[in-house]
Amino acid sequence: MSQHALLSAGTKSWRSLACSRSELRLDLTLGCGQSFRWRETGDGHWTGVMGGRVWTLTQTDDTLWYHTYNSPNTIGADKRKRSAGSLLQGSKGSGKRSKGVIEVKEEEEGEPVAVTPDPDRKEEELLNDYFQLKVKLGDLYRDWGAADPHFNSIAKIFTGVRMLRQDPTECLFSFICTSNNHISRIQGMVERLCQSLGTPLCQLDQTSYHDFPSLHALADNSVEACLRDLGFGYRARFLQQSARQILDSHGGPHWLQGLRSVPYLQARDALRTLPGVGPKVADCVCLMSLEKACVVPVDTHVWQIAKRDYSFAAGNGQKSLTDKVHRQIGDFFKQLWGPYAGWAHSVLFCSDLKKFQKLKETHSLKQEEEEKVKIKVEGEGINKNIQKMCNRKVKMSVKEEVE
């Protein structure tokens, strides 16, 4: 049976790309409730499914390391790719391109040459896209810190929190599961959803990994009853009905992908026509998969942050969030943080999670120790100055007596 990869076992099967911890911290980014497919499978090693493959990620100070696993499906695909390559090489002058697998280029002499895409480069592109590594996080942190003293104090502890760019189908149906729920339970629900309806990918240390279900699998009439048996409750109906509506009324997954190219309000309103999608879920999908970086998803947790840390007064007399208060809080943070307000919000959201409170405690203890050392050093310096003054006085007294 295959095992989860560990960097300590050797780097031969691992690949890497340059990325500092200040630009990406895996534990914070993958554990703060953006995606629910990643688990810590070794010290500092995170395993999950992305792009139809199983990955293990880890990092050192300036490097992101990644390992991918072969599944029966990918092995079969590799064989088909090699067969396609042989056929193309044997048919000179065809000039055809096989669905992104083999690209045929013309040399100057007119002879076609089959070029197989570099798998390492494709995987690196997937990682760059998923973590949006082209966005310089350090620059954003400086801008947010300059505009917001509270953020500046949090940023010193919670560096490297990035916004993921997830597959819209996976993001949408995962967040439908978040209604009246918490992260650990949502992770379990999404895992059961994938195991029941997704394509098997591989098994590692007795853990089975599956791809996220397709819209067709989610829309099947048997899905609601199946998911109710798995503990999804009322959310089971929302998942099945939303999938069916996207297929029947919008033409399928291309509709969700297409929402990336429309304005935020249009994308949000389109998502809210789906069963089980309210303002918070729609905003999460817009921010985390549809490239709407300015969007600040607001729930009761974010509402409390706004009131406690920013003296935000709107809606104080109300017990629940209304669309108006939701909009007011979102607008407040957009004005404060600018076009990447949703990214800044994720840092504060992360810092408020109970699972990460030890980071704050560790930082406080470190500051206390540094303060003690500083006081001690300063005290020793004062004592030395006093001793010097005393020595000078003694010398002067002796000199006066001699004279």
Catalytic residues: 280
Token output for 33: 């409730």
Helix (H) / strand (E) element for 144: namely helix 137-147
Q: Tokens in use for 105?
A: 């280029």
What's CA 359's distance to the chain center, in Å? 19
Query: Which residue carries 């991918």 as its tokens?
Result: 68
What does R_g of the chain's alpha carbons equal in angstroms? Answer: 28
Q: How far, CA to CA in Å, does 358 sit from each of 25, 134, 166?
A: 16, 30, 28
Q: At 5, phi and psi to the nearest 5?
A: -70, 145
What is the secondary structure of 235-290 as a DSSP string?
HHHHHHHHHHHHHHHH-SHHHHHHGGGS-HHHHHHHHTTSTT--HHHHHHHHHHHS
Strands in 39-42's sheet, in edge-to-edge order, are 15-18, 63-69, 53-60, 45-50, 39-42
Q: Kind and range of the H or E element at 383?
A: helix 357-402
* Paired tokens of 401: 């007596």
Q: Output the CA torsion sign for 267, 269, 275, 280.
A: positive
Q: Residue 221 and residue 371: Cα distance in Å, rounded?
A: 64
Question: 3-state class of 24 per DSSP?
Answer: coil
Joined tokens for residue 364: 């406080």
